Amino acid sequence: MCFERLKSTVGRKAVMAVSGLILLLFVAGHMIGNLQVFLGQEALNSYADHLQSLPVLLWPVRLFLLLVLLLHMAVSISLAWENKTARPVPYAYQDTVQAGYVSRTMVVSGVVIFTFIVYHLLHFTFGTTHPQYFHLTDSKGRHDVYSMVILSFRDLWVSGSYVAAMAVLCAHLSHGIQSLFQSLGFNNEKSRPFFEKLAIAASIMIFIGNSFIPFAVLMGFLKLPSGVI
Amino acid sequence: MNLKLKVWRQRGSGDRGRLVEYEAKNISPDVSFLEMLDIVNEELTRKNVEPVAFDHDCREGICGTCSLMVNGIAHGPRRATTACQLHLRHFKDGDTITIEPWHAKAFPVIKDLVVDRSAFDRIVQAGGFISVNTGGVPEANTIPVPKRTADRAMDAAACIGCGACVASCKNASAMLFVAAKVSHLALLPQGQAEKKERVQKMVAQMDKEGFGACTNQYECEAVCPKEISVSFIAKMNREYLKSSI
Ligand code: FES
């Protein structure tokens, strides 16, 4: 597909849809990986260790995801800007028939999610925000991800902000997932209600799956292994 | 019934425009919205005030000329109804009604409530047609079209080009209009030859005119007097992406 066509409004919508889908698949995979925390310290730490032991794969994937995220953001900014300038004089009396709050605030929720991603990387990937939990090792000498997660989430502010960010992500996805089918042209009268329901179900699942980890830590379902602090 | 109107007055595209209040007194609930404006205009003329300019033609809901934003909703609160077919019985005595023109960069205001919608004409000129050789009229029904396909094509062809979709969209996007035009020709056998070229050219012209992009909120479908489905936007996206590969 030539660049000229991708630059059109319809083309850029397709770019939003495809990049969004890639990010969604990552979010789902990331969640499934993290849920191994419920299998215990051994499972989670060896999973993390496996990922880290494949730098040839890990770094290209990380770089690819970063580029996809930046593309998703850049295209959305260009579209949002054009959409704004398409109506220079606003209506004095504003009303909508059906457009929901979530769909009208995708840019805002997107910015919140991006801020969260930065914080999340500083927290668990670079160990900047909680360095005291970042250098723990387990009995096999591996990076002790399990204890790091539990110790971090014992702080109400940390868990609270994670759950809040997941709620925003859930809202963003509930509009994003159904939109991607429309933008890529898969919709018709019969499929639309189905995709709308699918979008809501999938985003709620992502919210519950991710939020369950800080929730379980706070409620004491997930405990520290003996010997840590 | 008595109504308080807040009407958008604007001398021309250079003017800034503002809401001006008028009273509509002793109006029968059986008159249409446009007839009510006629009555107000007569009163204004008597008082030597310039009457409010608004667009209209058939007043039967079939031409798509009337174009009023009534209390923030294109064509007013009734579903599947043009402003000319909206009757005052759907309002309450004493209501305040705000009347504005379509606001979009691609639809500059000519005067008061009248906007220039020739951007739509240019989109159609870019590809919303089929090229045929002139000559004798071909026998009807020589090209079989399945009933369901014909029905869908007719659903899309019901678009009267009023521009309510643009007016109601928060992005002033013309995608429902363009999708209806692309789809009705793409569905029929006569439209196949130029199918790819058509969607490319029409989308390119739509972007050039300065309409926004769809964010899938479907306000357009909700206000469309002909209830054109947003599924046609998906169809247009599909046609566009297929023709780009
Ligand atoms: S005036 Fe023709 S549709 Fe309203």
ipTM of the complex: 0.92
pLDDT digits (tens, 9 = 90+) for B36-75: 999 999 999 999 999 999 999 999 999 999 999 999 999 9
The binding-site residues of ligand 1, defined as CB within 6 angstroms of any ligand atom, are: B 56-59, 61-66, 82, 84
Average pLDDT in chain A: 94
- Helix (H) or strand (E) holding B110, with range, is strand B109-111
Please name the fold of domain B118-244. Fumarate Reductase Iron-sulfur Protein; Chain B, domain 2 (1.10.1060)
- Residue B222: closest C-alpha in chain A: A97
Q: Which residues contact B20 (CB under 8 A, 6 or more apart)?
A: B6, B7, B8, B9
Residue A229 has pLDDT above 60, yes or no: no
* pLDDT interval class at A226 (50, 70, 90): confident
Residue B228 has pLDDT above 80, yes or no: yes
Tell me what pLDDT residue B139 has: 84
Residue A185 with chain B: CB contacts under 8 Å:
234-242
Q: Kindly determine whether residue A185 and residue B235, on different chains, have CB atoms separated by under 8 Å.
A: yes
* pLDDT interval class at B140 (50, 70, 90): confident
CA distance A11 to chain B (A): 7
Tell me what pLDDT residue A1 has: 58
Share of chain B above pLDDT 90, in %: 93
CA distance A78 to chain B (A): 10
Tell me what pLDDT residue B125 has: 98
User: Ligand 1 pocket check: which of B36, B70, B84, B226 to mutate, most ligand atoms within 8 Å of Cβ?
Assistant: B84
* pLDDT interval class at A221 (50, 70, 90): very high
Residue A13 has pLDDT above 60, yes or no: yes
Residue B221 has pLDDT above 60, yes or no: yes
| Conformation bin of residue B72: beta by default, left when phi > 0, alpha when psi is -120 to 50 | left
A105 touches chain B (CB under 8 A): no
Q: Is A89 helix (H, G, I), strand (E, B) or coil?
A: coil
Distance between CA B109 and CA B17 in Å, rounded?
9
Q: In CATH terms, is domain A2-86+104-218 a member of 1.10.3720.10?
A: no
Tell me what pLDDT residue A132 has: 87
Tell me what pLDDT residue B231 has: 97
Q: Kindly determine whether residue A1 and residue B105, on different chains, have CB atoms separated by under 8 Å.
A: no
Quick one: which of A35, A41, A33 has its CA closest to A140? A41
Tell me what pLDDT residue B225 has: 98
Contact A79, B172 (CB under 8 A): no
Contact B182, B198 (CB under 8 A): yes
Q: Which CATH class is domain B3-110?
A: alpha beta
| DSSP state at residue B32 | B
Please identify, by atom number, the ligand 1 atom nearest to the C-alpha of residue B85. 4
Residue A97 with chain B: CB contacts under 8 Å:
73, 168, 219, 222-223
Q: How far is CA B75 from CA A55, A60, A97, B124, B134, in A?
A: 60, 53, 12, 23, 39
Taking only residues 159 to 218 of chain A, the set having a beta carbon closer than 8 angstroms to any beta carbon of chain B reads 175, 178-179, 181-189, 192
Paired strand residues for A143:
A137
Tell me what pLDDT residue B137 has: 81
Quick one: which of B48, B173, B34 has its CA closest to B102? B173
User: Ligand 1 pocket check: which of B35, B54, B58, B224 to mutate, most ligand atoms within 8 Å of Cβ?
Assistant: B58
pLDDT digits (tens, 9 = 90+) for A29-87: 999 999 999 999 999 999 999 999 998 999 999 999 999 999 999 999 999 999 999 99
Angle at A186 (CA atoms; ends A184, A187), nearest 5 degrees: 115
The ranges assigned to domains in chain B are: 3-110, 118-244
User: Residue B123 corresponds to which tokens in the numbers above?
Assistant: 């989109």
Closest by Cβ to A8, choosing from B204, B214, B217: B204
Q: Which residues contact A6 (CB under 8 A, 6 or more apart)?
A: A12, A14, A15, B244
Region B153-171: what's the mean pLDDT? 98
Residue B212 has pLDDT above 60, yes or no: yes
Q: How far is the CA of B20 from the centre of ligand 1 (A)?
A: 24
Residue A92 with chain B: CB contacts under 8 Å:
6, 8, 19, 98, 100
Angle at A201 (CA atoms; ends A196, A204), nearest 5 degrees: 125
Region A177-202: what's the mean pLDDT? 95
A229 touches chain B (CB under 8 A): no
CA distance B74 to chain A (A): 10
More confident residue, B138 or B30: B30
Please identify, by atom number, the ligand 1 atom nearest to the C-alpha of residue B64. 3
CA distance B123 to chain A (A): 15
Closest by Cβ to B207, choosing from A1, A8, A90: A8
Burial of A82 (0-12, 13-18, 19+ CB in 10 A): buried
CA B167 centroid distance within chain: 8
Tell me what pLDDT residue B151 has: 97
Tell me what pLDDT residue B245 has: 86
Distance between CA A109 and CA A115 in Å, rounded?
10
Residue A228 has pLDDT above 70, yes or no: no
CA distance B134 to chain A (A): 33
Closest by Cβ to B234, choosing from A2, A88, A187: A187
